Amino acid sequence: MSTHSERLPRWFMPPPARTAAFSSARRPGVVLRVSQIRAWPWADACFRKLDPDVQIRWPVAEGAAVAAGTRVCEIVGQSRALLTGERTALNFLGHLSGIATLTARYVAAVAGTNARIIDTRKTTPGLRALEKFAVRCGGGVNHRFGLFDAVLIKDNHIVAAGGVGAALERARAHAGHMVKVEIEVTNLDEVDEALQLDPDALLLDNMDLSALRAAVKEVAGRVITEASGGVSLDSVRAIAETGVNLISVGALTHSAPVLDIGLDFEPPAKRQHADA
């Protein structure tokens, strides 16, 4: 936070003035799973950097669902620190909770199947680590973090290398023994071709339900299967029921709407009442 940002609150009131405030979810019916609350240390830091003595309490237990109106955070601190840090804290909290909330909805949609919901590298610039953390908080599992921790041979790699076999050969020759290799395929012929190459996983891209079912049957558990492309909350359960192991959803990190959480100062009167 730049020194500029503090211009208003620095003079708005003398630093000793302290206020109590609480933060609550505004949107009715939106469930905030407990694990999302792990996103809160960032919110804490926004205030603590401005007022080291701020007191912050998160009344909601880890793992609980949160109804609209639930008070999720209680803060007492210097008024101007609260006014200065409020928006930044809520921007972190809302963005990451939004991702966790959307992930939780996808996870709920496939409950009872064997499929796990995973993320992609389609993240917001600068926030990948936090967003992938939010996905885990929402019950999802992380795909690789970058180009460095796993090899995923996609269409462009195959074009560049001159064929899937050539691409895989290069990957095998250079990657370390701890690096897994996944190959993207788009139809059953490519599934068969890829299985010859003995990969660790297959990415079944943009295949319809019957093709997915056929692919799962063909693979027969020999490698991990991941479905991707055109996944929505409406379609995800049917995809899960084809028997794939994983369903990757780019929208988790690139299109999750914010979870609307606000911060309200408590009027002194009310506070006195509470003290009584």
Task: Catalogue the active-site residues.
Answer: 87, 122, 154, 184, 205
For the CA atoms of the chain, what is the radius of gyration? 24
Among 36, 104, 182, 247, binds a copy of itself (CB under 8 A): 182
Using CB under 8 A as the criterion, what x/- string covers residues 150-179 for binding a copy of itself?
Answer: xxx--xxx-xxxx----x--xx-xxxxxxx
By CB under 8 A, residue 83 contacts a copy of itself: yes
Q: How far apart are CA 111 and CA 159, in angstroms?
A: 38
Q: How far is the CB of 259 from a copy of itself (least distance, A)?
A: 10
Q: Which residues pair with 24 in a beta bridge?
A: 71, 262
Q: How far apart are CA 79 and CA 56, in angstroms?
A: 14
How many residues in the shown chain lie near a copy of itself by CB under 8 A? 90
Q: How far is the CB of 102 from a copy of itself (least distance, A)?
A: 11
CA dihedral 127, 131, 133, 135 (to 10 degrees): -170
Q: How far apart are CA 86 and CA 46, in angstroms?
A: 8
By CB under 8 A, residue 75 contacts a copy of itself: no
Please state at what angle helix 188-196 crosses helix 164-174, rounded to 10 degrees.
40
Q: What sign results for the dihedral spanned by CA atoms 245, 250, 253, 259?
A: negative
Residue closer to a copy of itself, measured from CB, 66 or 158: 158
Residue closer to a copy of itself, measured from CB, 79 or 210: 79
Q: How far is the CB of 87 from a copy of itself (least distance, A)?
A: 5
User: Tokens 């050969």 map to which residue?
Assistant: 169
By CB under 8 A, residue 33 contacts a copy of itself: no
Among 60, 103, 144, 215, binds a copy of itself (CB under 8 A): 144
Residue closer to a copy of itself, measured from CB, 60 or 81: 81
**Site residues for a copy of itself, window 187-246 (CB under 8 A)?**
200-201, 224, 226, 245-246
Q: How far apart are CA 266 and CA 269, in angstroms?
A: 8
